[in-house]
Structure 1
């Protein structure tokens, strides 16, 4: 088990009015694959999502932004605690979204409102064990799979922003791996892979923790 420990409690939690401030990220990496009959090496974009306790869907690592850390530090901490990954976080967030916490989805009160800042993180290290491994499993997904497994609109919007950011990086960067990255438009993905109407179910956390090949 990991010798690291996760933060608990909300004594240092930041708020904007009644909205709890949350910071998180979309971890991603490029996997090298053989490019068909030509044998050329291409890059496949993979996104990391995690299972959440007592739920069947997948989410991105995120959590409370506390008053003794920056927004980016909070996002990195949550990625480590919940998903067991470290990486290079973008300087600026992909965007900011308002949503309700999982436990308050059906509540009409002001409690449970969140204002979340999501970053892109290129993963450089995957830990074999992490602080919240008992509660959160992790799985690498293609971008099409990630769109399909997102439960909420704001998550799909954040994925769209990630694609836009990576596409701009490809245009402005001469690195071969980004030049060959076969990114497709969001509309193409949406037409081919509409969101599933049934929840995603996994037998147990151990099966989720096996990284997709």
Structure 2
């Protein structure tokens, strides 16, 4: 396996866009081996917790983009288990900005194989393992992320 970069990709020059100009975003629902916990990361754009996700670029598959984002944002190495499908933008038009335009999300369920002590965005983000109930509460203001969590096979009790 190639060495993982300690630099996050930046910019949008290689960003993929859908047929209606929506930004294509790939993300993971990273579960523990026993599926009792999901790893959430601190949002940098606003307070609260999110799932690892980011722009799907032209030189990678959606799965590769999701795993790259999980490494950059959460410092985890994962194995994708399931394609959770596409999730349309759920923000209202007035919530969209130039920095956060309309998006179409493609989420995958993954098992965390390794959690590193150092990762590209460790200075900007913290991470926390949560139960389904804790994660469901933490993602209440992010309906697209909540949808991805609920599509996963995480144990709910």
TM-score (norm 1): 0.64
Is residue 161 from structure 1 mapped to residue 146 from structure 2 by the alignment?
no
Structure 1 spans left out of the alignment, 5+ residues:
31-42, 167-182, 190-213
Q: Compared with structure 1, are the counterparts of its residues 162 and 44 closer, same or farther at alpha carbon in structure 2 (3 Å cutoff)?
A: closer
Is the contact made by 1:98 and 1:113 (CA closer than 8 Å) also made in structure 2? no
> How many residues are paired up?
150
Q: What's the C-alpha RMSD, in Å, of the aligned pairs?
A: 2.5
Report the CA distance between 1:152 and its aligned residue: 2.0
Q: Greater relative contact order: 1 or 2 (C-alpha under 8 angstroms, separation 6 or more)?
A: 2
- Structure with the greater alpha carbon radius of gyration: 1
| Other structure's SS at 2:37 match | strand
Report the CA distance between 1:123 and its aligned residue: 0.3
Q: Alignment partner for residue 82 of structure 1, among 67, 73, 80? A: 73
Q: Alignment partner for residue 7 of structure 1, among 9, 26, 42? A: 9
Report the CA distance between 1:136 and its aligned residue: 1.5
| Other structure's SS at 1:93 match | strand
Give the equivalent residue in structure 2 for 1:25: 28
Q: Compared with structure 1, are the counterparts of its residues 108 and 137 closer, same or farther at alpha carbon in structure 2 (3 Å cutoff)?
A: closer
Choose between structure 1 and 2: higher helix proportion. 1
Give the equivalent residue in structure 1 for 2:41: 50
Deviations 1:127-180 (A, max 9, x none): 1010011111100001110111112222222111103xx6xxxxxxxxxxxxxx
Is residue 125 from structure 1 mapped to residue 114 from structure 2 by the alignment?
yes
Structure 2 spans left out of the alignment, 5+ residues:
none
Return the alpha-carbon distance in structure 1 between the equivalents of residues 52 and 44 of structure 2. 13
Return the alpha-carbon distance in structure 2 between the equivalents of residues 148 and 4 of structure 1. 31
Deviations 1:70-94 (A, max 9, x none): 111000000000000001112x421
